[in-house]
Chains A and B, each alone.
Chain A
Amino acid sequence: MFDDTRGFIEALRASGDLVEVEKEVSWDLELGAISRLACEKDGPAIWFKRIADYPDDITVLVNPMATWRRVAMAFGLAPDASIKDIYREYEKREGKLIPPVTVERGPCHEVVRRGSEVDLFDLPAPMLHEGDGGRYLGTWDLVVSRDPASQWVNWGTYRFMLYDSSHLTGFPRPTSHLGKMFQDYYVPRGEPMPIAIVIGADPLSHFAASATFHLGGDEAGLAGGLRGEPVDLVRCRTSDLLVPACAEIVIEGEVLPDRVGLEGPYGEYPGYRTGEMGNGILFRATAITHRKHPIFTVDATGYKDDSSTVTALSGALAIQKRLERHGVPVVDVYMPPEGAVHLAIVAVQYGGKEVARNILETLTSRRALISKIFMVEADIDIFDMGKVLHAFSTKCHPAHGVHVIHYEGRANTLTPCYSQGERVAQKGATVLFDCTWPGEWSREWETPVKATFDSIYSESVRRKVLERWRDYGFDK
């Protein structure tokens, strides 16, 4: 398993899933535009070797896990493993947490700058999208924070905007784990919250930080479980937080409980810049530590970015477990990357109004990130969006099959279809399309019969046709 970003880069290079750009590129939109286009084309990861205004010893890796091939490789699977196989592998590993190990020293401390030596502009944070509020770092990061009351340590992926030489502004959503910890403990006490922004750790530590994991969960242990071995952690230089020892770059500092700065707007993972601006948090840096020749990691946030695959995997499994706990007859869940973490396909043994209501209530009770759900029967291959769309188009009753739940104070503020007012109030709704046959319909007399090759012909007819397929004149 990969111990760091460098090992992963070597594997990507060997499999042909990496483009190394030797030509100098500008951090000011050029790098972002290249990276965005690569994402939209399901292209390889990109390692930019020369960034204008910066020395050649700092390079930038973009979109490390934005395709299923690269996710599979991060898990040590064959690059062409199916989505289903990756799901099953994640499911197998995520239940076995392996606690991290604390070590005395690590490569992330090869270079240490503190206090007045700190200049955040030494990091080639790109201006990713034209019109963003600023240059963003922390698009592919791992932010460490701790709740002193419970000693819970949270790892999360949160965006940060370069503000001046020693300040960043950020927008970990108020309902996020970090946002909640900050507001529940530090703000009422007027105490700054120490955090460490880790850039370029091993791929599965990033995966664990980005994964949908329960409040109070141990993401460092999850990273160990996914890796099959513990993550080595080393103590920060200006706080007692622990960070992955093999990380490329660590920014240490504190979030201020009574000071603010302007944050955003930013083109976020749904693929839009929705105009959330000015309501974030302010971070003051106390140190930057890094490896020699550090590699700055970036997610070109937007349509089909890294978060879409990570959440497609971890979010789907988290949803499945929650639904199981709440008595939903769930069989499988898929969150297609194209759905930008807003769409879930839920396969059930049986559907109907009660199951629909249960799913809606379960998935919107704390924070409601998903706004569209397709509920389908178990015979639909939920990983095949063509089949899902067919089920939706043919089986969902346009009046009785549509179920909606409304909520306030917990909606996803990044959902593009919400108005500015709804975003401020975190007001929204989730719709479920019931693409299952009504349970009260007689299977013999009322339920339409599916007329596809797999379902309408007898086994003997199918076998005969498949055996003679090439003889009929078909290539494959």
Chain B
Amino acid sequence: MVSTNERKSWETFVRRPGDLREGAELPLALRDLNPGRKKYSVRHVVATVSRNPEEMPHVDTLFVRTVVGVLLPETWGITILRDLPIEVPGKPYHDFFASLKAAARDGDKT
């Protein structure tokens, strides 16, 4: 597990309401919400998410924004399982999320 006892805050953007699924290992692009000069730096990860973060004392907090940048009211819990490369193999001008999913899948095979 990459998460530590210190609860950190992350944010992610989703295209559709159902893109975040509980219980599944999800490839996500997270941006760091913690204050400082590197706030909003991006990290690619595989993580699990939960709608009830209060029941999980050691998970980080995840905020979610829609494709047009609207912040959703619900706060999620997130457990980061592993990092993915910052340079995701993929074709420019094509769907980043499909490339990230493939990177996570390929990582699982190795």
Complex interface: chain A residues within 8 A of B39 (CB): 28
**Cβ 8 A contact of A262, one of B29, B69, B70:** B29
| A277→B90 CA distance, assembly (Å) | 15
Complex contact B42–A278 (CB within 8 A):
no
Complex interface: chain B residues within 8 A of A277 (CB): 13, 15, 67
| A351→B31 CA distance, assembly (Å) | 53
**Cβ 8 A contact of A263, one of B70, B86, B96:** B96
Find residues 232-260 in chain A having any chain B CB closer than 8 Å to their own CB: 255-260
Task: Count how many pairs of residues, one from A and one from B, have CB atoms less than 8 Å apart in the complex.
Answer: 107
Bitwise, A416-442 to B at CB < 8 A (1) or not (0) is 000010000000000000000000000
A53 CB within 8 Å of chain B: yes
Q: A121-B41, A167-B86 are in contact. Are A179 and B68 (CB under 8 A)?
A: no
* Residue in A closest to B36 when the chains form the complex, CB atoms: A53
Complex contact B87–A135 (CB within 8 A):
no
A131 CB within 8 Å of chain B: yes
Complex contact A275–B88 (CB within 8 A):
no
Complex interface: chain B residues within 8 A of A230 (CB): none
Complex contact A279–B37 (CB within 8 A):
no
Main secondary structure of the interface of B (DSSP, over half): loop
Complex interface: chain A residues within 8 A of B97 (CB): 278
Bitwise, A72-101 to B at CB < 8 A (1) or not (0) is 000000000000000000000000000000
The list of the 8 closest CB pairs from A to B, nearest first, reads: A131-B69, A278-B96, A260-B90, A259-B87, A275-B67, A275-B68, A262-B29, A53-B37
A12 CB within 8 Å of chain B: no
| A222→B91 CA distance, assembly (Å) | 33
B6 CB within 8 Å of chain A: no
Complex contact B41–A163 (CB within 8 A):
yes
B89 CB within 8 Å of chain A: yes
List 29 A-B pairs, Cβ < 8 Å. A53-B36, A53-B37, A121-B38, A131-B71, A134-B31, A134-B40, A174-B93, A183-B92, A187-B92, A258-B91, A259-B88, A259-B89, A260-B88, A260-B90, A260-B91, A260-B99, A261-B29, A261-B88, A262-B100, A265-B68, A273-B69, A274-B68, A275-B68, A277-B13, A277-B67, A279-B94, A279-B96, A280-B96, A420-B67
B95 CB within 8 Å of chain A: yes
| A265→B13 CA distance, assembly (Å) | 9
Complex interface: chain B residues within 8 A of A259 (CB): 87-90
| A167→B41 CA distance, assembly (Å) | 10
| A172→B91 CA distance, assembly (Å) | 15
B65 CB within 8 Å of chain A: yes
- B36, B71, B96, B97 interface centre (most CB from chain A within 10 Å): B96
| A187→B67 CA distance, assembly (Å) | 27
Complex contact B13–A284 (CB within 8 A):
no
| A275→B65 CA distance, assembly (Å) | 11
* Residue in B closest to A170 when the chains form the complex, CB atoms: B92
Complex interface: chain B residues within 8 A of A267 (CB): 69
Bitwise, A148-163 to B at CB < 8 A (1) or not (0) is 0000000000000011
Find residues 41-69 in chain B having any chain A CB closer than 8 Å to their own CB: 41-43, 65-69
**Interface size of B as a range:** 20 to 34
| A163→B95 CA distance, assembly (Å) | 17
Bitwise, A111-144 to B at CB < 8 A (1) or not (0) is 0000000000100000101111111000000000
Q: A127-B40, A265-B69 are in contact. Are A278 and B88 (CB under 8 A)?
A: no
Complex contact B29–A280 (CB within 8 A):
no
Q: How many whole Å from B98's CB to the nearest CB in chain A?
A: 9
* Residue in B closest to A125 when the chains form the complex, CB atoms: B40
| A299→B6 CA distance, assembly (Å) | 37
Q: How many whole Å from A128's CB to the nearest CB in chain B?
A: 12
* Residue in A closest to B71 when the chains form the complex, CB atoms: A131
Find residues 179-203 in chain A having any chain B CB closer than 8 Å to their own CB: 179, 182-183, 187
A54 CB within 8 Å of chain B: yes
Find residues 200-236 in chain A having any chain B CB closer than 8 Å to their own CB: none
A298 CB within 8 Å of chain B: no
Bitwise, B71-110 to A at CB < 8 A (1) or not (0) is 1000000000000001111111111110110000000000
Complex contact A131–B87 (CB within 8 A):
no
Q: How many whole Å from A190's CB to the nearest CB in chain B?
A: 11
Complex interface: chain A residues within 8 A of B96 (CB): 260-263, 278-280
Complex contact A279–B42 (CB within 8 A):
no
* Residue in A closest to B99 when the chains form the complex, CB atoms: A260
A281 CB within 8 Å of chain B: yes
Complex contact B42–A134 (CB within 8 A):
yes
Bitwise, B22-43 to A at CB < 8 A (1) or not (0) is 0000000101000011111111
Q: A121-B41, A134-B42 are in contact. Are A282 and B87 (CB under 8 A)?
A: yes
* Residue in B closest to A171 when the chains form the complex, CB atoms: B93
Complex contact A284–B87 (CB within 8 A):
yes
Complex interface: chain B residues within 8 A of A174 (CB): 93
A42 CB within 8 Å of chain B: no
**Cβ 8 A contact of B92, one of A53, A127, A280:** A280
| A279→B99 CA distance, assembly (Å) | 10
A110 CB within 8 Å of chain B: no
- B67, B91, B92 interface centre (most CB from chain A within 10 Å): B92
Complex interface: chain A residues within 8 A of B87 (CB): 167, 256, 259, 261, 282, 284
**Cβ 8 A contact of A273, one of B15, B68, B71:** B68
